[in-house]
A and B are shown apart, each in its own frame.
Chain A
């Protein structure tokens, strides 16, 4: 292999993609019997990817966008000059690759212990293959390798979400159908780009579209719309915001962490890599405050997603669904920031993407360890876990402080930058729903904290223990990463800044400790220090006060009694159901009015009717679907010409 592709860049990228594929297939076929060994191989393959990321980092030149040919070229396609599969090393792809690999490695440590005899799901080989596709998406230089990676990612994640369970199968199908809609839309966009530019390279298509401004605006907008639908479907942006609540909730618990942390970001990557460059220099057309109209609409879709995600999260009783909607809400904010298409906006989006990977990963790991010990997912059945699982509680606490965007944790810095990106373009009205979504996050995050970890500990769980050591270790790393990101934003922002040269953006002004925005600048280290200082001052006050006495929880309010003849038990004493009922009642009409479910159901019904008719014509279902697909594709190509 070394002979075929000299140079570290090549080996690194090639290895990062192909090695996990090989390991995955090997463990799928050979290691069928040894489930634990499969997880060890998954860990090792991710470790290898991290090593590849490190060597790429050492040798890489982020700015130049070097491309390398794949060792095996395809036979020439008539009419297309460039027909080889090749990888491309861009700073953007590298940042995403490195971030996702680091987070996955931490999750894989967790998975080693999580998948014991009682909890094993056997998805390790598929997940290993998925990691190869993960690298492929970020490094793809031409549409064909991008599509292959995208589809491998779609298939493997579909199978992992289903993992052989009946109720998970439905969620997985829902997820896959949305992915399919996205892939078809993307395929249409790719056809237009490839036929226009005469090359399979992604960069050529982008260049082709950017050159069309002023002459064929509607074609460019149509094609970017196709790409946007694909990326929105993958990132669960309005109107596709329903799938995470199903898929994240039904997936294996450790995989949920990956799904919510890493996988949902592919759409963000795609938007930054493909759609945004088209709307840069050379854009001719209507604009709102200097932002192209199309992107402004995209930004509004982002904040609408953020608000809807928040409102749905407030309503949930299932802890994994709650956090899935929280992810939707965060993605909405990221989309809002990046659609400003400025260096501040993209930096904010990337920074929040990375922070979200870590803190949402941490939250899901913490939830997974609660479920590992208790087997419960509905929050009102839990309660008081903090008294038995302090480390999981701390991970959750630190991560939700970050998720709520409260200093001194990492989420604050990136949320602050998202606001600054909106302020820079004077998108002030768009900032109102963003603030709303951000404040709403306190509500659902606190609900999770209270209902799962605090309140009354039920007698059923009086004897449970803290999560096993490797799981605890993985959570600890997540926790420290969140803190580190909050005190030293430069750790993430400096690499982000260094890739901006290659992307043609101005640098944002920041250093290790502080960020300069448009309306003011903040020094995160001093905010953290001030908070710690205040904590010590108040801690001192606490210590000089007279000593406290420990009293059991039930000893005050019910005077030590638990009158069971009234039907009162510890579980019922725990206030967890319908936590925000007054608010739920208030927002219910709004949610009903904006629900996309009925629309999708209608579309599903009509499609069913249509395909039923077609089926009757051809009498075999396969032929009918095939012909329908061919017709759609042909139509798009012909219209695109």
Chain B
């Protein structure tokens, strides 16, 4: 980890000092244990702020859009894939962005640690190799990291960014075995009524803060469908009838583009599982079109074009 951190700083410093980029977007130490925060560095002397560890969970590709300067951005596999999707969708000038790819073995899910510790607050934490050491008032625990990674990381098939301009460190072995759609299969096995109950219960906690939308790099519409008034597609209240529409439509809007970075679920203050609905759309994309988002800059997303050999069994 330390090696990668140093390498990131070296790469970033080189890019900045050679004026290949005007700005580096990376991570710096957060104000709480096990947290990092996005960092915008435009001066070489600030490069030392950059860190790299298992708490670098923010999706920095969000910050690539809407900038005029040349940027170097630290990208995990999922982040790099999302930058690629945005590039394919022509949301930013590709030549303005240097993707600094970093291999990632997964980010820590703070919510899993909170669930384990209950009301005990983590005051200090260190991550060494495969262990997370947490300390608080009157307790000290060592947790196996693999049990506290984000769900999206457990089945990630792109630990090494498939698209990047600079690769930092050594490639790590990919996880070829895990069934990335196991969660979806569980849901599929339920009856329609059971699924309805499940989603109703989950989404009734939503407070319409839109953290899920705002943290997602794919949600870049200048006027989100939520805010349109003419026509107003649905209500903005936190009534279940309105909330369900918001989540379902957002799932459809990111279908075929989402890479399951998990940022939406991590951002949700009410701990909603926002991935599972969208994961189903990802499964359909894979099965129906053999498509994975963001692994190739040449491929046009299936939902953005039509091929003669596309299956059409739904047309009767």
Real binding pair: no
Q: Which residues of B contact A (CB under 8 A)?
A: none
